[in-house]
Structure 1
């Protein structure tokens, strides 16, 4: 690629992604999986002493994790590193979606931070450790959380290229297909933080386009972003139809304005939460959703893998 102008996502660049963000929903209304998977997840969590000790640790507001937490001790310690009053996290966010304009000859970074900040890494560590520990209760060796920042190839976007950085993904080690992606932030979610929603939309579109380009036969049960903003976790779900899939394919055309828009419904993005890491009821509910989703993946993850 030639020398390019690099800039962060703007409302003008977000608009062609044709997405509607619905009102935030309470976490207990979400259904990521079948009733059978939720029943299985609830049974596993109830019968896991270390998880029950983890919930008890939150309820009693204990400072240091005890040995009873076992595999949940390190994830809880990572959560406490964010919750401690004396721990001030820098609220300056990095840029996780960039556009490179190939028509211009000189680079202009405009103060963008293309990589995660140090404090964003602390939030990412707390989230990824907890999800990995939940995964150890049910996932086999072939489904793993990985930290690759750019698992999806840059996407053509009119005259330029759209590139999205994520904070991790749950992948099938045999096919390298993603089943969820992560987003770590040092700012609280608010509809006033419009850029956050633009970036998450761009990440979701990059993932969907990646799957369409690869001809994925078994899509994930849900296109899911797990986003942690300081001590609050959200589950973000995308809903779209086949017509929308056809629509976003034109984003890779050389000139967007030369392509007629097909008639389709907008992709709907819904955030569920917050799940506060210092609230036992919240974390019990969040863990049930995630574990049920893991159980649901197990049913389909290897369906298309040849012998």
Structure 2
């Protein structure tokens, strides 16, 4: 399911000293996954048939079950109607007359099953794996300890058929939350964006391009995250053959926004380092 797209030119990645910050507008070097060990929790893999966890006592789980057919492989999920209706998208779909009420089924052919599984997990539990854990000593957030799939692939990425390669999972979840009208899920996914390390520059750029293609111009938070990240790690991206190829090909608002952000960054540095000239007093 997972694949790795090689970076054109020199392969570059972000080490632990280059972790993303904890907010979309600030990328602090010290922010990242703590070395504290938490009790590991194995996430069930998405199979041919998956049912959302319904153990949450705060939810009313007496509503009818809705079947969801997800992805090109048509994997089957099941969820309670009232849980799905927390999403304006699903509430509208379920209210349409086109829905067969004798066999309540929604088809999501363009969605990735692993991403939709995380969306359902959020709808039932208020978060998705790996969960956010507060670190009171550092006044920051961490991710619970994760496990890879046995092949050394990080939990932070997911293969996306539409992009024909790996993308940052939290970015895809953020865009799914935008589609489904889940603002709190967007905030959670945005906070998780900066808590991974060792991500290749090629995946960062592919994810940034995906973010631009799947968020409206009015939603600048995720876009600002990537602009600030590239500026902060500009020495890495300068050596990236993928970055050079991406800019040569163009075709995205990303690079104009990056140019403006870099200009503003230089202006800020210049104004901070240039002493103010005292105004001459009029005669």
The two structures have a TM-score, normalised by structure 1, of: 0.28
The two structures have a TM-score, normalised by structure 2, of: 0.30
Greater Rg over alpha carbons, structure: 2
Q: Which has the higher strand share?
A: 1
